[in-house]
């Protein structure tokens, strides 16, 4: 099956010039002239299946440039289901870490988060350990943490463009519904799933509701939504950054590692390491003229 190489340059740092495009086309044995998706930012280059073997060489050739290179199949490029992680993916934050920072225990919890996202700790165990440290703190800290939340560039465009072209969108997080419900509303996700941070008398209890949403639940959601909407696996897109996203990234027709942890970059071929969530649209063949949202 023929492939498409999508090159995307980070807009605030460089431009995608003719020489770079020609270099990439030569490395992957491009079969047709490139199609411009966004002037000086993004192009599609049709290429043969053998381009998969040339991807490491291409990334090495582009190592000194903030340019992402993704290979996709020409068939079913525009996905009809998006399932995305939230923390460090749709938003720039790790919301539990931000909550802990307001409680004065940020470094302690961030260290556990890092180990969990790198696959060094079982997700459920890591979540319980972190949440237990919040016991007795005022629930109002969640509102303070919400004030720190910032959407990543392209988050609204990704969700709203896909929705405008018939896709169903879901936000899923190992974090908490307090945040996912608000982020989903900001971006336009049609549903959201996360853990529940329990409170009693306006105080955090140090516990979460059960069952705990983790990597298996993310995979199950992707599978269930695809079945519900009668979609083949190749019609699905999943995006995430941490070890708990790996099962759904492997299952999706296109699994994208977004500024991901090493364990994820080592396992997932489609990577966004330099640019924004706009790249997940370019990788589906959307020209910038069709973007909705930001």
Are residues 163 and 289 part of one domain? yes
Are residues 2 and 59 part of one domain? yes
CATH number at residue 188: 3.40.50.1000
pLDDT in tens, the chain (294 residues): 699 999 999 999 999 999 999 999 999 999 889 999 999 999 999 999 999 999 999 999 999 999 999 999 998 999 999 999 999 999 999 998 888 888 888 888 888 888 887 778 788 888 898 888 889 999 999 999 999 999 999 999 999 999 999 999 999 998 999 999 999 999 999 999 999 999 999 999 999 988 888 889 999 999 999 999 999 999 999 999 999 999 999 999 999 999 999 999 999 999 999 999 999 999 999 999 999 986
Are residues 51 and 96 part of one domain? no
The distance of Cα 23 from the centroid of its chain, to the nearest Å, equals: 28
Are residues 213 and 172 part of one domain? yes
Are residues 42 and 159 part of one domain? no
**Positions of E strands within the chain:** 3-9, 35-38, 42-47, 67-73, 81-84, 168-176, 191-195, 197-200, 203-208, 236-240, 254-258, 271-272
**Catalytic hit among 44, 85, 98, 241:** 85
Q: What is residue 269's three-state secondary structure?
A: coil
Among 32, 53, 75, where does a domain finish?
75
Q: pTM to 2 decimals? A: 0.94
- Condensed to tens digits (0 to 9), the pLDDT of residues 204-226 reads 999 998 888 888 999 999 999 99
- Structurally, how many domains does the chain consist of? 2
**Catalytic hit among 44, 68, 87, 241:** 87
Among 47, 75, 103, where does a domain finish?
75
CATH number at residue 24: 3.30.70.260
Are residues 266 and 165 part of one domain? yes
Among 46, 75, 104, where does a domain finish?
75
Are residues 113 and 2 part of one domain? no
Q: Which residue has the tokens 């105080």?
A: 203
Token pair belonging to 265: 């970059």
Active site residue 87: yes
Active site residue 85: yes
Are residues 190 and 121 part of one domain? yes
Domain that holds residue 39: 1-75
């Amino acid at each position: 099956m023929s492939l498409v190489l999508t090159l995307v340059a980070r807009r605030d740092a460089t431009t995608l010039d003719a020489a770079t495009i020609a270099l990439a086309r030569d490395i992957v044995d491009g079969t047709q002239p490139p199609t411009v998706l966004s002037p000086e930012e993004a192009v599609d280059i049709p290429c043969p299946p053998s381009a998969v073997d040339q991807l490491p060489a291409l990334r090495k050739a582009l190592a000194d440039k903030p340019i992402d290179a993704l290979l996709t199949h020409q068939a079913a490029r525009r996905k009809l289901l998006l399932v995305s992680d939230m923390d460090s993916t749709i938003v720039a934050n790790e919301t539990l870490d931000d909550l802990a920072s307001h409680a004065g225990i940020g470094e302690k919890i961030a260290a556990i988060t890092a180990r969990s996202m790198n696959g060094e700790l079982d997700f459920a165990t890591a979540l319980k350990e972190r949440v237990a440290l919040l016991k007795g703190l005022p629930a109002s800290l969640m509102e303070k943490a919400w004030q720190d939340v910032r959407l990543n560039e392209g988050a609204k465009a990704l969700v709203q463009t896909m929705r405008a072209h018939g896709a169903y969108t879901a936000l899923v997080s190992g974090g908490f519904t307090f945040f996912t419900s608000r982020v989903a509303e900001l971006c336009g996700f049609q549903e959201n799933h996360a853990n529940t941070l329990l409170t009693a008398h306006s105080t955090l209890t140090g516990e979460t509701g059960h069952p705990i949403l983790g990597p298996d639940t993310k995979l199950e959601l992707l599978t269930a939504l695809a079945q519900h909407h009668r979609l083949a696996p190749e019609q699905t897109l999943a995006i995430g950054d941490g070890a708990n996203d790996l099962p759904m990234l492997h299952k999706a027709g296109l699994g994208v590692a977004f500024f991901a942890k090493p364990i994820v970059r080592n396992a997932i071929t489609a990577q966004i390491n330099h640019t924004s969530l706009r790249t997940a649209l370019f990788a589906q063949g959307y020209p910038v003229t069709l973007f909705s949202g930001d």
